[in-house]
Amino acid sequence: MVDTKPVVFFVLGGPGSGKGTQCAKMVDQYGFAHLSAGDLLREEVILLFHFISLIDQKQRDSGSETAQLINQYIVEGKIVPVEITCQLLKKGMEKKGWAEKRFLIDGFPRNQDNFDGWDRVMGDLVEVPFVLFFDADEETMINRIMERSKTSGRNDDNIESLKKRFDTFKKETMPIVDLFDSNGKTQKINALRTIDEVFEDVKKAFEPYL
């Protein structure tokens, strides 16, 4: 039987490097499935708070605790424990019908805990041909995020949270990018040009999978 493992491409880069923007273009133009770990975590907080009034006391306490924990991690720019994030990603993949898809998993794995947790749960179930890494300097990324903050409504799009997110990115995420790189699995993209120029390089990286 032909192996039908889903193909997963991780998408990494600093805050505001353009991960979500470029993934959206891959979805629109080539039908890739896109899951952003950050988006899934934000949605989970909303869902847990929203349904809290509908469930019994015991579930309510645990749901509210989880929502508060995720929210706190996000505002502090820290990485949520992988048990939570990996389950959300797995469920998201299943919902999209995972066996036939090419997945872009954006903002994951963000640290060693993410990397190890994914490997435990998903390592044998999917193929990961490479990691796309959007390279940009901090000043550019700060400018983009501060502009985005005018409309995003994100509670971590402010200078205090942003400093912490950059700190986490440098200390915890870059070693993961380097780890993939040492196995020849990082495709680095210069993210400092226009959205369309960056997308030209993104397409080249995915050429064998289009």
Ligand X SMILES: Nc1ccn([C@H]2C[C@H](O)[C@@H](COP(=O)(O)O)O2)c(=O)n1
Determine if 75 is a binding residue for ligand ATP (CB under 6 A).
no
In the list 12, 17, 32, 35, the residue contacting ligand ATP (rule: CB under 6 A) is 17
Decide if residue 195 touches ligand ATP (CB under 6 A). yes
Burial-class residue 112 by CB neighbours within 10 Å (0-12, 13-18, 19+): middle
- What does each C-alpha distance from 101 to 4, 191, 204 come to in angstroms? 9, 26, 19
- The identity of residue 36, as a single letter, is S
Q: 67-73: list long-range contacts, CB under 8 Å, 24+ apart.
A: 70/41, 70/44, 70/45, 71/45, 71/155
- Single out the residue of 20, 90, 146, 205 in contact with ligand ATP (rule: CB under 6 A): 20
Nearer to Mg ion, 63 or 134 (CB): 134
Q: Do 63 and 48 form a contact (C-beta atoms < 8 A)? A: yes
Name the residue nearer to ligand ATP (CB basis): 21 or 64: 21
Interface residue with ligand X, options 22, 114, 186, 187 (CB under 6 A):
114
Q: Using the rule CB under 5 A, is 81 a contact of Mg ion?
A: no
Instruction: Tell me: does residue 129 bind ligand ATP (CB under 6 A).
Output: no
Which option in ligand ATP, ligand X, Mg ion, none does residue 80 bind, with CB closer than 5 to 8 A by kind?
A: ligand X
